[in-house]
Structure 1
Amino acid sequence: MTHILKHSKALLTRVRRITGQTQALEAALLEQTDCNLVLQQLAAIRGAINGLMAEVLDSYMREHLAAPDVSHESREQGMEQLSRVLHSYLK
């Protein structure tokens, strides 16, 4: 989990940006904004979430799977955890 701590400021910045986007989406829905603008906002949020997932995933793989000091057993456990998360994410 140290890799998350190393990048926590950048990750929190991304999460706060996503929070702002979801608040804008909520406001758009409350104001009954045009569907096109709502769809645009949804696409932006999805892209932001995917970007955040990719960043954390990349960090996870480098730290828990590809680092030279990771044991074979830890690497296998990491792969199993990663597989479960990816299956859940891609549903």
Structure 2
Amino acid sequence: MAHLQNNQKILNRIKRLQGQLNSVEKAVSGGETACIDILQQVAAIKGAITGLTNELIEEQLTQHVLPEGYDEAELDRFLKLLRKYG
């Protein structure tokens, strides 16, 4: 997926995830943040990873799997289903 290096949306998601992970590390290392607050941060990271995964799946489908001229409405229905249950 060499084309991903030009996908700013995906790169931004990764950078936000890095920031969130760094924040959790600092919170745990500092020892002053309540466990519940750290759990909330981890839950946010989990959601962000799910979002990144969905973006990567969409990229894989549109760039490498689906034939040229695929039905975009059908892809949208599939991606909505994936987001709902993924």
TM-score by length of 1: 0.65
Asked if structure 2 preserves the Cα contact closer than 8 Å seen for 1:3 and 1:60, the reply is no
Stretches of 4+ aligned residues off by more than 3 angstroms: none
Aligned residues: 68
Note the aligned Cα RMSD (angstroms). 1.8
Report the 3-state secondary structure (helix = DSSP H, G, I; strand = E; otherwise coil) of the residue aligned with 2:64: helix
Report the 3-state secondary structure (helix = DSSP H, G, I; strand = E; otherwise coil) of the residue aligned with 1:68: coil
Match of 1:81 in 2: none
Asked if structure 1 preserves the Cα contact closer than 8 Å seen for 2:5 and 2:11, the reply is no
Instruction: Quote the sequence identity (%).
Output: 35
| Deviations, residues 47-70 of structure 1 (Å, cap 9, x unaligned) | 11110111011110122111238x
Matches within 5 A, 1:1-91: 1=1, 3-7=3-7, 9-32=8-31, 33-68=33-68
Asked if structure 2 preserves the Cα contact closer than 8 Å seen for 1:21 and 1:45, the reply is yes
TM-score by length of 2: 0.69
| Deviations, residues 25-78 of structure 1 (Å, cap 9, x unaligned) | 001101221110010010011111110111011110122111238xxxxxxxxx
Q: Which runs of 5+ in 2 are unaligned?
A: 70-86
2 CA distance for matches of 1:67 and 1:5? 23
Q: CA deviation at 1:2?
A: 5.6
